Amino acid sequence: MNGKNNIAIGFLTMGFFMLYGFLLIYLRDFAPGKEEWAKAYSIGKHFESRLAHVHGNLFAFLNILIGYLLLHFRGKLQNIKTISWLALTGLLMPIGILSEVYFGLPPALVLIGAMAMTASVIWLGVAFFKMKNINE
């Protein structure tokens, strides 16, 4: 992995969570029982669903950005493969939130994904600090 998969999977994940946003709009504005859904705006499944939508798009964007940076600076950064895999593993967070909402699963995927994405971002930051010189 050198970043290409982060970009591809990032765009695919972003597309999925954008479509999921349309589902949330449908549930809020058009579905039978929309009033009850709207009343639960800040609690329960409605709130968790919005968290998944927002974090899914954020983590997808982070994968696109991380992938681009890994490709662009591949000869100058260390641990590219590890950073790439950690960023992709981070996508387990929004997937984990959805699995909680729809299947009642425990939040293990949420925690694993959150820790992996945080580690990838910090590791990439450290790798840039350690990089010799961009122009060399």
The structure's pTM equals 0.92
Reported as a single tens digit per residue, the pLDDT across 104-117 is: 999 999 999 999 99
- State the Cα torsion 43-53-19-23 to the nearest 10°: 0
Q: Is residue 136 scored above 70 in pLDDT?
A: no
Q: 98 pLDDT band (50/70/90 cuts)?
A: very high
Look at residues 93, 101, 98, 81 and name the one whose alpha carbon lies nearest to residue 118: 93
Mean pLDDT of all residues in 72-77: 92
Reported as a single tens digit per residue, the pLDDT across 19-68 is: 999 999 998 899 998 888 878 778 888 899 999 999 999 999 999 999 99
